[in-house]
Amino acid sequence: MGRFEKAMRRFAALDDRDLAAPWSWRGGDLQVRDALYRSLGDELDALVVARERWDRDPATTDAERILSHADSALGDLRGLLVALDDALLDRAPAEGEWTLRETLRHMLDVERRYPVNTSHAIHRGDDEPLTVPDDDPRLAPSDPAETAGGFDRVVERLVAARDHSDALLGPTPDPALDRASRWSGIGVTVRFRLHRFGEHLVEHTIQCEKTLEALAVREGEARRIVRRIWAARGELEAIDADADAIASLDAAHEERVAALGGVART
């Protein structure tokens, strides 16, 4: 587990009442919630700087820009799920409805399937069909063993799949984004397909929210802030912020966690 995730776990564990506890910053008397907002502000500012440099780089593609939104969406999901009780993974919100594990398995399967037809659309010859056959083994569901274990292990698989999608499709030349494809029987373009990565993550993050609500798991204020911090970090890492900038951010998060003392629960 990395430094950033450890800090976010501590932040997410804060109770709403903890956020009103005193916290000092630059000689001023603030509240613990302000510590979290300072972490959010730091991440957003680093993202502004990195994005400006990234956008100036002529090698940056529209595909990379589009996929960075998926990385932000995945960060939001990770903030929603971090430090939750693993027992929640297999509790159905209602009869016949997906558990969190089933939803996350679906997200993993789609994250692995989408690159297949997107890459096919980019590279296919004019005489080839718009999509690969439905029985293509690359479209097969994942082995349930891959999504066994707790939240950390399941999310780790999804992160790896997301990284693979970025590596495969990020270098796509801009003109190729207008190439034809099909999605759900509808004529679309590669550009549309690239946007589907982020859209699908958002769609099922909302489903996870609804599942947690049905299981009477309340999302506290601290976790809501953590989700925004992690969304910013997801995009920041996607656009290749330098390692020194990331390390500086992580150190600042750790310092704030340490300053919270007994307020920051594990």
**Tokens 């479209």, residue?**
139
Note every long-range contact of 118-127, with CB atoms under 8 Å and residues 24 or more positions apart, other chains counting: 118/169, 118/181, 118/190, 118/193, 118/194, 119/168, 119/169, 120/181, 121/179, 121/180, 121/181, 121/190, 121/193, 122/169, 122/172, 122/176, 122/179, 122/190
pLDDT higher than 80, residue 265: no
End-to-end CA gap in the chain: 14
pLDDT tens digits along 195-221: 999 999 999 999 999 999 999 999 999
Question: Mean pLDDT throughout 171-185?
Answer: 98
- Does 3.20.20.10 match the CATH number of domain 91-216? no
Note every long-range contact of 48-51, with CB atoms under 8 Å and residues 24 or more positions apart, other chains counting: 49/245, 50/236, 50/239, 50/240, 50/241, 50/245, 51/235, 51/239
Determine the distance from the C-alpha atom of residue 24 to the mean position of all C-alpha atoms in its chain, rounded to a whole number. Answer: 31
pLDDT tens digits along 3-19: 999 999 999 999 999 99
CA distance 89 to 69: 26
**Tokens 């969190």, residue?**
100
pLDDT higher than 80, residue 64: yes
CA distance 50 to 71: 15
The CATH 1.20.120.450 portion of the chain extends over 91-216
**Tokens 């970025």, residue?**
166
Cross-strand pairs, 187: 182
Contact status, residue 159 vs residue 213, Cβ threshold 8 Å: no
pLDDT tens digits along 110-125: 999 999 999 999 999 9
Enter the pTM of the model: 0.96
Contact status, residue 74 vs residue 264, Cβ threshold 8 Å: no
